Amino acid sequence: MSTAPLDAIQKLECFIVRVPRDVPYLGPLRDGEFINEKGYLIRKGNRSIYPSTDQTVVLKVTAESGRIGWGETYGIAAPEAVKAIVDNLLAPVIVGRDVSAPAVIHDDLYDLMRVRGFFGGYFVDALAGVDIALWDLYGRITGLSVSQLLGGRRQETLPAYVSGLPRATLQERCDLAVEWVNKGFKAIKFAGAVADDGMVKEMAALREAIGPGVDLMVDMHWKHEAAEAVSIIRKLEAHGLYFAEAPVQSEDMTGQVRVANSIGVPLALGEELRTAYEYRPRFEARAMSIVQPEMGHTGITEFARIGMMAQAFHMKIIPHAAISIGIFMAASLQASAVFLGLPYHEYQHSIFDRNLMFTNGDMACENGFYKVPTGPGIGVEPSEALLAMLEDA
Ligand code: MG
């Protein structure tokens, strides 16, 4: 039996978008930190490079009928690499494919570079952006949301945790935490990399400021050896820690397992992983009890697979939220709403609200909850402001 194609892909376009910001991500520059001639800075606290502006990659797929789907992928550093992969490798080979087969196309594209060892990195970021655009197009043509296409939506809102307190001093960070609690948010994650007097003092001060009824989590930025991480986390537990994120280096799965088995709170990880293949050994080894898939790295197809695996291993899903213009953010909410009892979705308050001006739709984050957008596909579309930026890109 053959099935008639729903519509065919005519073209795929890719744009780099940059949005200026007043204060760099993770807060003001510390001693010895500076912005280089290409616009990047290296954070001493976690040895990682960040752009001084927000950068992202937007994708536009057009069907023969003229219908359009939108995607976005991770563009934090050297987004030009992602654009080259989309323009040169992925865009030409999807022309003519049936729009109703996004997961099939995803797997075909993954196979293009598989034997060369491109199991992640920029190649899979590019693939993630294409994947989101294809699911969005399929949804817009059928009139269904991505949640519906994935099998059905369990919830219209998702609890949000406030991510990071980008202020220069501990007192200012405590004041900001109180502000968020007063706005109705019930969970806050602080960044170990910018806890200037150490994580234990930071957490004690935050707990004192916000009181006992708010979940507090720590991002440990892959900085610690396993025994050291266990020692710190045990001290943080005394102040009511909800989870510890990324305590040891990403490659150290043995260390992750050791920490996970030695602490009294959940270990969360996964923001830097892109596929179910990368997650699989960590599921099998019980290297974590909370998974943090990042839509900008996974795309919808792999996000859904990782989430289903997490459920099969009785682990919780608390999705990561990278710097999004709003498109992969909407995709993440669509795919998250499919899962039962998702405790939280990360909320990048310094980016999300400002970037709502770049999309049209009813996506929002208020009083501690995300509203999952209700339109077809991912549920949001570029606004006039974003379309104007794409014309200039
Ligand atoms: Mg993190």
Distance 193 CA to ligand 1 centre (A): 10
C-alpha angle with apex 256: 253 to 260, nearest 5 degrees? 145
Cα 128 to Cα 108: distance, rounded to the nearest angstrom:
13
State the residue range of the domain holding 18: 9-144
Cα 226 to Cα 268: distance, rounded to the nearest angstrom:
14
The predicted model gives 230-247 an average pLDDT of: 98
Last residue of one domain, picked from the residues 144, 166, 185: 144
> Same domain, yes or no, for 231 and 326?
yes
Distance 229 CA to ligand 1 centre (A): 15
- pLDDT of residue 1 exceeding 70, the answer is no
Residue 273 maps to a domain: yes
- pLDDT of residue 300 exceeding 70, the answer is yes
- The domain tally of the chain equals 2
Last residue of one domain, picked from the residues 144, 164, 186: 144
Distance 182 CA to ligand 1 centre (A): 24
> Same domain, yes or no, for 244 and 126?
no
Residue 315 maps to a domain: yes
Distance 80 CA to ligand 1 centre (A): 24
Distance 292 CA to ligand 1 centre (A): 9
Tell me the DSSP string of 124-191: HHHHHHHHHHHHHHHHHHHT-BHHHHTT--S-SEEEEEEE----SSHHHHHHHHHHHHHTT--EEEEE
> Same domain, yes or no, for 354 and 230?
yes
Chain position carrying tokens 């500076």: 34
> Same domain, yes or no, for 51 and 182?
no
> Same domain, yes or no, for 104 and 236?
no
Distance 221 CA to ligand 1 centre (A): 6
Tell me if 121 sits within 8 A of 290, measured CB to CB: no
> Same domain, yes or no, for 29 and 129?
yes
Residue 393 maps to a domain: no
> Same domain, yes or no, for 109 and 160?
no
Residue 78 maps to a domain: yes
| CATH number reported for the structural domain that contains residue 90 in this entry | 3.30.390.10
Q: Collapse the DSSP code of 109 into the 3-class scheme (helix H, G, I; strand E, B; otherwise coil) and give the result.
A: helix
Cα 282 to Cα 382: distance, rounded to the nearest angstrom:
37
Cα 301 to Cα 149: distance, rounded to the nearest angstrom:
11
> Same domain, yes or no, for 276 and 192?
yes
> Same domain, yes or no, for 38 and 79?
yes
Q: Collapse the DSSP code of 289 into the 3-class scheme (helix H, G, I; strand E, B; otherwise coil) and give the result.
A: coil
User: For residue 287, what pLDDT is reported?
Assistant: 98
Distance 11 CA to ligand 1 centre (A): 35
Distance 216 CA to ligand 1 centre (A): 14
Rg (the chain; Cα; Å) = 20
Residue 119 maps to a domain: yes
Last residue of one domain, picked from the residues 111, 144, 177: 144
- pLDDT of residue 346 exceeding 90, the answer is yes
Residue 391 maps to a domain: no
Distance 109 CA to ligand 1 centre (A): 28
Residue 178, number of CB atoms within 10 A of its CB: 16
Express each pLDDT in 115-174 by its tens digit.
Answer: 999 999 999 999 999 999 999 999 999 999 999 999 999 999 999 999 999 898 999 999
Cα 130 to Cα 12: distance, rounded to the nearest angstrom:
8
> Same domain, yes or no, for 230 and 353?
yes
C-alpha angle with apex 93: 90 to 99, nearest 5 degrees? 95
Distance 273 CA to ligand 1 centre (A): 12
Residue 124 maps to a domain: yes
> Same domain, yes or no, for 208 and 334?
yes
| CATH number reported for the structural domain that contains residue 161 in this entry | 3.20.20.120
Cα 256 to Cα 223: distance, rounded to the nearest angstrom:
12
Output the six-digit token pair for 319.
């999705």
Question: What letter would DSSP give residue 32?
Answer: T
Cα 168 to Cα 325: distance, rounded to the nearest angstrom:
25
Distance 231 CA to ligand 1 centre (A): 20
Express each pLDDT in 64-121 by its tens digit.
Answer: 999 999 999 999 999 999 999 999 999 999 999 999 999 999 999 999 999 999 999 9
The predicted model gives 344-372 an average pLDDT of: 96
> Same domain, yes or no, for 140 and 168?
no
The predicted model gives 211-238 an average pLDDT of: 97
Distance 238 CA to ligand 1 centre (A): 22
Residue 111's nearest CA partner among 304, 275, 272 is 275
Distance 100 CA to ligand 1 centre (A): 34
Distance 271 CA to ligand 1 centre (A): 7
Distance 384 CA to ligand 1 centre (A): 32
Q: List 359's β-bridge partners, or say none.
A: 382
